[in-house]
C-alpha cells in the first residue's frame, strides 16, 4: 500500500475515459467514497488504502479536465472546500 500508488491511480484515471465512468460514482452527493476508490484502484493494479486516497485527494493543486467536470457537475472532488468525506 502506498501514497505513490494512489497518486499513480489518480493520473491513470485522468488518462482513461472508461475508468473515469467507474470512478465518477465515488464522488456523489458531496461525499467522496475513498474505500470505493481504493477498490477500483486495486482492480486496476494500484494497491493503496482509503486513507492513502484521502491524503492524495486532499492535496490542493491544479485539477484535470475530468476532476473539473466532477466539481462543476455538482459533485465535490479532490479536496475542494466543503467536501465531506467517508
DSSP code of residue 25: G
CB 2 within 8 Å of CB 47: yes
Cell, residue 70: 466532477
User: What is the spatial distance between Cα 74 and Cα 28, in angstroms, rounded to a whole number?
Assistant: 8
DSSP code of residue 82: T
Give per-residue pLDDT as tens, 58-78: 887 778 888 888 877 644 433
Percent of the chain with pLDDT strictly greater than 90: 55
Cell, residue 75: 459533485
Residue at grid coordinates 464522488 = 27
Give per-residue pLDDT as tens, 17-54: 999 999 999 988 778 899 999 999 999 999 999 999 99
User: What is the spatial distance between Cα 59 and Cα 25, in angstroms, rounded to a whole number?
Assistant: 21
Amino acid at each position: 500500500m502506498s501514497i505513490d500508488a494512489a497518486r499513480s491511480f489518480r493520473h491513470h484515471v485522468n488518462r482513461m475515459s472508461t475508468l473515469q465512468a467507474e470512478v465518477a460514482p465515488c464522488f456523489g452527493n458531496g461525499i467522496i467514497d475513498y474505500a470505493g476508490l481504493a477498490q477500483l484502484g486495486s482492480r486496476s493494479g494500484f494497491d493503496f488504502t482509503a486513507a492513502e486516497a484521502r491524503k492524495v485527494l486532499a492535496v490542493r493543486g491544479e485539477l484535470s479536465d475530468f476532476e473539473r467536470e466532477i466539481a462543476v457537475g455538482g459533485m465535490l472532488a479532490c479536496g475542494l472546500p466543503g467536501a465531506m468525506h467517508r
